[in-house]
Amino acid sequence: MKKGFAFDLDGVITDTAKFHYVAWKELADSIGITIDLQFNEQLKGISRMDSLERILAYGGKENDYTAEQKEEMAADKNANYVKLLDDLSPADLLPGVKAFLDAAKEMNVPCSLASASKNAPFILKKLGVYDYFDAIVDPATLKKGKPDPEIFVRAAELIHIDPSEAVGFEDAQAGIEGIKGAGMYAVGVEGNEPLTEADMTIKSFEELNVSDLLNL
Ligand code: G6P
Ligand code: MG
């Protein structure tokens, strides 16, 4: 029996990955590094600063900038990213997500958010689903990012259940590893790239039923 859900945000609840990509590409271009969509897959689920470090390493520039300059670059990227979110609205929820959250609410199933994004509360509000979450993990309080299980362990703790009683939803390989490492049941939301290690993969939440998941 499962008792609660832990959701990733980007790529699970809404497709903000495309905006992260546009903003990172602009930043990378400005320092002479070319990234493509395939490389972008590696940035999914990865924190802002770790994403920047991966881009710099990809371009062979990992030793070219001071910590202060990196902070500035990450802030610039975020400012651009937030601008791209300006028009985000409930229409940007991925298919089936709203109905799934409604059903979970109806059945009093606690939901928590396990996203590495510091913009998560702002994004949930723009999507009109902030109130559906009983808890939101603050990524600034974590010691390690995904694939470490810490964020999912915390997500379960915040809704007062054991990780083994939770179902986690992720679109990133690093996130699936985090869910499995925490001891949760992992549902992979597949985009273009196949996910390995997930207990179940779906293309969209339209394929899911809350009761079936609780009975796992
Ligand atoms: C999510 C996304 C990553 C992003 C990270 C941090 O995990 O999948 O691509 O880098 O959040 O997001 P933030 O909004 O804090 O820059
Ligand atoms: Mg994601």
Nearest-ligand number for the alpha carbon of 77: 1
Ligand-binding site membership of 36 (annotated): no
Calpha distance 215→89 (Å, rounded): 33
Cβ 170 under 6 angstroms from ligand 1: no
With a pLDDT cut of 90, the percent of the chain lying above it is 97
**pLDDT attached to residue 193:** 79
Q: Which candidate, 150, 152, 170, places its Cα nearest to that of 161?
A: 152
For residue range 188-206, list pLDDT tens digits in order: 999 877 899 999 999 999 9
Question: Thinking of the domain 4-14+89-214, which architecture would CATH place it in?
Answer: 3-Layer(aba) Sandwich (3.40)
Query: Please, what is the average pLDDT of the chain?
Result: 97
Best mutation site among 7, 10, 35 for ligand 1, i.e. most ligand atoms within 8 A of its Cβ?
10
ipTM computed for the complex: 0.98
The domain locations on the chain are: 4-14+89-214, 17-87
Of residues 42 and 168, more confidence is placed in: 168
Q: Using the predicted structure, report yes or no on whether residue 5 has a pLDDT greater than 90.
A: yes
Cβ 14 under 6 angstroms from ligand 1: no
**pLDDT attached to residue 191:** 85
Bridge partners, residue 136, by sequence: 113
Q: What is the DSSP string of 123-154?
A: HHHHHT-GGG-SEE--GGG-SS-TTSTHHHHH
Q: Contact at 8 Å (CB) between 181 and 83?
A: no
**Average pLDDT estimate for 140-144:** 95
For residue range 79-128, list pLDDT tens digits in order: 999 999 999 999 999 999 999 999 999 999 999 999 999 999 999 999 99
8 is catalytic: yes
Cβ 40 under 6 angstroms from ligand 1: no
**Average pLDDT estimate for 37-42:** 91
pTM here?
A: 0.95
Residue minimizing CA distance to atom 2 of ligand 1? 45
Q: How many Å lie between the centroid of ligand 2 and the Cα of residue 175?
A: 7
With a pLDDT cut of 70, the percent of the chain lying above it is 100
For residue range 57-70, list pLDDT tens digits in order: 999 999 999 999 99
10 is catalytic: yes
Q: How many Å lie between the centroid of ligand 2 and the Cα of residue 173?
A: 9
What's the topology of domain 17-87? DNA polymerase; domain 1 (1.10.150)
Any idea of the CA torsion for 139, 161, 208, 90, to the nearest 10 degrees? Answer: -40
**pLDDT attached to residue 192:** 75
Structure tokens at 27: 């930043």
Q: Using the predicted structure, report yes or no on whether residue 171 has a pLDDT greater than 90.
A: yes
**Average pLDDT estimate for 159-178:** 97
Ligand-binding site membership of 170 (annotated): yes
Domain 4-14+89-214 and domain 17-87, same fold? Reply is: no
Residue 43 C-alpha from the chain's centroid: 11
Ligand-binding site membership of 54 (annotated): no
Ligand-binding site membership of 118 (annotated): yes
Shortest-distance atom of ligand 1 to CA 123: 14
